[in-house]
Amino acid sequence: MVDVAIGDVGRDRAQKLAKTLSWLKLQDDGFRLLTLSAAIAVLLILGGVIASLVVGSLPAIRAFGFDFLTVQTWNPVTEKFGALPAIYGTLVTALIALLVAAPVGVGIAIFLTELCPYILRRPIGIGVELLAGIPSIIYGIWGLFLFAPAVQKYVQPPLIAAFGDVPILSTLFAGPPYGIGILTAGFILGIMVIPFVASISRDVFETVPAVLKEAAYGQGCNTWEVVRFIVIPYTRTGVIGGVMLALGRALGETMAVTFVIGNAHRIAGSLLAPGTTISATIANEFTEAVGDLYTSALIELGLILFFITFFILAAARLLLMRLERQAGA
């Protein structure tokens, strides 16, 4: 009798334990499945972005075909749309931004890794990175009210005067000084992306083995020569990757550009003239777009922008990955 009772209790406990264990297993599988589906959701979001942009731009693709990329007119009244001025403005402003940000950003990185006293490295590094955190609309409003008028007053007149007689440059810097325009937008973009170039360059500069630098110093090189012949060659791919990431940023940036570019749908020979970019066109016109074709043309602009940034970013990632492999080997 006693034996049976004990067996019952044991069976009860065993059942309880089994229940708890199976509940834990269920919970375990559930959590695993939850995280897995979240990871897949990230893939679905990107898929959704591409799919929705393609679907949204179908009417415009059907109506304009390949001409969309080569035509300059942008006329909502007659519903004739061409993306060329916007694409041109996007590429040119991003290029100007790079010409500003690449040397300055790399310069800051060299300063932070090779020259700056140790106590100041952290505060200055943080200060530069805070620049990256400031919302782009702040750069926009600052550019509109302060930077553009300053450029109009102090930068553009001397530029026009200086290059007025030089062939080629005279067309680039021609026309009245509006203040707003492609050059100003490019400059503001440049200031915005400096922190990206600077922080990535600093990170890759720190991967240079100290032994290499010491060897160069031992040969009698000075600081600049060590940077020029050891640090930069060793990290070249990484720096280029960082610059391209910044380029991706500059291509897609909207608010800072919208304020100062002037929104003119034409390709002007002069960098001082107002122009437009893909993102500025979308931001300015999307809520006012009446009719499916107009909206669809704007969405197709978004699709083009996405493809341009996608390829730039993919290339940048590949370069950075190659550097990582090199550092690991």
Partner 1 sequence: MTLYERRRRVGAIYLALCFASALFGIGCLMVILSTLLVEGFSGLSLAVFTQMTPPPGSGGGLLNAIVGSLIMTTLGVAVGAPLGILAGTYMAEYGRFAKLTVVVRFINDILLSAPSIVIGLFIYEVIVSRMGHFSAFAGAMSLAVIVVPVVVRTTEDMLRLVSNPLREAASALGLPRSVVIIEVAYRAARAGLITGVLLAIARVSGETAPLIFTALNNQFFSADLNAPMASLPAVIFQFALSPYKEWQQLAWTGALIITIAVLVLSITARALGGARTAK
Binding characters for partner 1, 242-261, by CB under 8 A (x = yes): ---x--xx-xxxxx--xx--
Phi, psi (deg, nearest 5) at residue 157: -55, -45
Choose, by CB under 8 A, the member of 195, 238, 241, 274 that binds partner 1.
195
Q: How far is CA 102 from the centre of its chain?
A: 14
Beta carbons of 326 and 237 less than 8 angstroms apart = yes
Least Cβ distance, residue 326 to partner 1 (angstroms): 19
Contacting partner 1 within 69-88 (CB under 8 A):
none
Task: Report CA torsion sign: 8, 11, 13, 15.
Answer: negative
Contact region with partner 1 (CB under 8 A), list: 1-9, 77-85, 155-163, 283-291 = 283-291
Comparing CB distances to partner 1, the nearer of 144 and 151 is 144
Rule CB under 8 A: say whether 11 interacts with partner 1.
no
Rounded to the nearest 10 degrees, how much is the dihedral formed by the CA atoms of 292, 297, 302, 304?
Answer: 140
Contacting partner 1 within 13-52 (CB under 8 A):
24-25, 27-28, 30-32, 34-36, 38-43, 45-46, 48-49, 52
Residue the block writes with tokens 């009244």: 77
Write b or e for each residue in 68-81: b if 16 or more Cβ atoms lie within 10 A of its Cβ, otherwise e.
beeeeebeeeeeeb
Rule CB under 8 A: say whether 166 interacts with partner 1.
no
Rule CB under 8 A: say whether 317 interacts with partner 1.
yes
End-to-end Cα distance, the chain: 73
How far is 125 from 118, CA to CA, in rounded Å?
Answer: 11
Contacting partner 1 within 103-142 (CB under 8 A):
103-105, 107-108, 110-112, 114-116, 124, 126-128, 130-131, 133-142
Contact region with partner 1 (CB under 8 A), list: 170-178, 206-214, 266-274, 304-312 = 304-312
Rule CB under 8 A: say whether 223 interacts with partner 1.
yes
Choose, by CB under 8 A, the member of 73, 225, 269, 322 that binds partner 1.
225
Rule CB under 8 A: say whether 206 interacts with partner 1.
no
Phi, psi (deg, nearest 5) at residue 176: -70, 150
Rule CB under 8 A: say whether 222 interacts with partner 1.
yes
Contact region with partner 1 (CB under 8 A), list: 81-89, 171-179, 206-214, 310-318 = 310-318
Q: Which two tokens stand for residue 109?
A: 């990185």
Residues that contact partner 1, how many (by CB under 8 A) = 89
Provide the strand spans (E) within 25-171.
Answer: 74-75, 80-81
Rule CB under 8 A: say whether 58 interacts with partner 1.
no
Choose, by CB under 8 A, the member of 96, 305, 319, 323 that binds partner 1.
305
Provide the strand spans (E) within the chain.
Answer: 74-75, 80-81
How far is 157 from 175, CA to CA, in rounded Å?
Answer: 10
